[in-house]
A = this chain, B = another copy of it.
Amino acid sequence: MNEALDLETTANILKLLGDKTRLTMIKIMSEHECCVCEFVDLFEMSQPAISQHLRKLKDGGIVNEARRGQWVFYSLNPSSSHYTFIQTVIKDLPSQNFKLENLTAQGKRICCD
C-alpha cells in the first residue's frame, strides 16, 4: 500500500512544494490542466519565471507537459511515484478554482477544443 518513501527523495519533493508559487501551481493543476500563459496571468510574474518553476516540477517528475497547438499544457503526473503523496499534502489547501474563474471572466482562459 505505502510507497517506499526514502528520506532524500521525499525531502527533494517537499523542497519543490516548499515554494508558494509552485505549491499554488500544483494545487491548481490538481484541479485543472493549465498552460504557461495562464500561469503568467494568474501569478502576474514573468513568463521565464513561470517556465523555470514548471521545469523544476517537470524535472522532479511530478508534472506532465503536453503541447497542443501553440500552447504547452501542464498537469499533475498521475504516474509519478509521488502522486498520492502530493495529493495527500495538498488536499486540504484552499481550492484555487476561483483564480481560473477570474481568468475565464476576463476571457483569458485557453481552451483547445
Interface residue ranges, A against B (CB under 8 Å): 2-8, 10-20, 23-24, 27, 85, 88-89, 92-94
Q: From B7, B14, B93, give the contact of A94 (CB < 8 A).
A: B7
Q: Which residues of B contact A94 (CB under 8 A)?
A: 4-7
In the assembly, what is the distance between CA of A16 and CA of B7, in Å? 14
Q: From B4, B19, B88, B93, give the contact of A15 (CB < 8 A).
A: B19
The answer to whether B3 and A20 touch across the interface, beta carbons within 8 angstroms, is no
User: Can you spell out 8 A-B residue pairs with CB atoms less than 8 angstroms apart?
Assistant: A7-B23, A11-B19, A11-B23, A14-B14, A14-B23, A15-B15, A88-B89, A89-B89
Known: A88-B88, A89-B89. A14 touches B5 (CB 8 A): no
In the assembly, what is the distance between CA of A23 and CA of B10, in Å? 9
In the assembly, what is the distance between CA of A112 and CA of B8, in Å? 32
The answer to whether A89 and B7 touch across the interface, beta carbons within 8 angstroms, is no
